[in-house]
Structure 1
Amino acid sequence: MEVHVILKVGQSLASTTDATALIVVRAPQGEIALTCGGAEMVAGRAGLGDGSGIDPERRSGTLLGKRYVDEETGLEVLCTKGGDGSLAIDDRSLQVKEAKPLPSSD
């Protein structure tokens, strides 16, 4: 059962399945169920799992320093510690935010 929570900007989240840790950069308006590796994330600064509980379909990983977004809800998080689990909201995978190209200085 997924638990829907209200996230706040600056909140630290930790995975319960691996070492993944995040900071909320942009929070959605309502409640969401954010998961990593198929299990819900909890408040905290360090991941709690060893990777053995990751859902095999949710094992694409998270990368340190990358921002992950969900366009539908407006959520944006920054990965502060990478891990093997992938991030999702309601079984919809979060995407790595693409860097915007800087304007040329010709």
Structure 2
Amino acid sequence: MKPRIGQTLASTVDETTVIVVRAPGTDVRITCGGAPMCDAREKPGTAGGPDPAQAGGTLLGKRYADDELGLELLCTKAGQGTLAVDGRPLPVKAAKALPASD
């Protein structure tokens, strides 16, 4: 799938929902809990549960990013599955340090 900025993606194995903040110009495989994510408008419902090896969970309001690919996702609904792109788990994006106000 080629994600678009502003697109809402939903997990097919848990309640995780994300919004694409930055998108690469290429096709990528975005998964949650080991299963491919789909457009939230087409969500068929949750079937089963996440793969136990991919059940690290997502956190509401956190950004998940892969800077190498140029992909950034914002979690709008937390769930039990781990977000991954092309088989690599997406880490939580670290907050930027604020400048010192000496």
Q: Which amino acid aligns with 1:49?
A: T
TM-score normalised according to structure 2 size: 0.92
Q: What is the RMSD of the two structures over their aligned residues, measured on CA atoms?
A: 1.6
Query: Structure 2: which 5+ runs fail to align?
Result: none
Q: Which amino acid aligns with 2:9?
A: L
Q: 1:14 to 1:103 in 2, by over 3 A?
A: same
Query: Cα distance, 1:84 vs. partner?
Result: 0.2
1:48 to 45, 57, 64: 45
Instruction: Give the whole-Å Cα distance in 1 for the aligned partners of 2:79 and 2:100.
Output: 35
- Tell me if 1:67 matches 2:63: yes
Aligned length: 101
Q: Which amino acid aligns with 2:33?
A: G
In structure 2, the residue matched to 1:78 is 74
- Give runs of aligned pairs for residues 84-103 of structure 1, distance below 5 A: 84-103=80-99
TM-score normalised according to structure 1 size: 0.89
In structure 2, the residue matched to 1:30 is 26
**Over residues 44-97 of structure 1, what are the superposed CA-to-partner deviations in whole Å (9 max), with x where a residue is unaligned?**
1679327x4211110000000000011231100000000000011121000100
Query: Structure 1: which 5+ runs fail to align?
Result: none
Instruction: Give the whole-Å Cα distance in 1 for the aligned partners of 2:13 and 2:45.
Output: 6
**Over residues 33-53 of structure 1, what are the superposed CA-to-partner deviations in whole Å (9 max), with x where a residue is unaligned?**
100000000001679327x42
Identity of aligned residues (%): 55
Runs of at least 4 residues of structure 1 off by over 3 A? 45-48
**Local SS of the residue matching 1:65:** coil
Q: Which amino acid aligns with 1:80?
A: T
In structure 1, the residue matched to 2:101 is 105
**Local SS of the residue matching 2:53:** helix
Instruction: Give the whole-Å Cα distance in 2 for the aligned partners of 1:48 and 1:36.
Output: 14
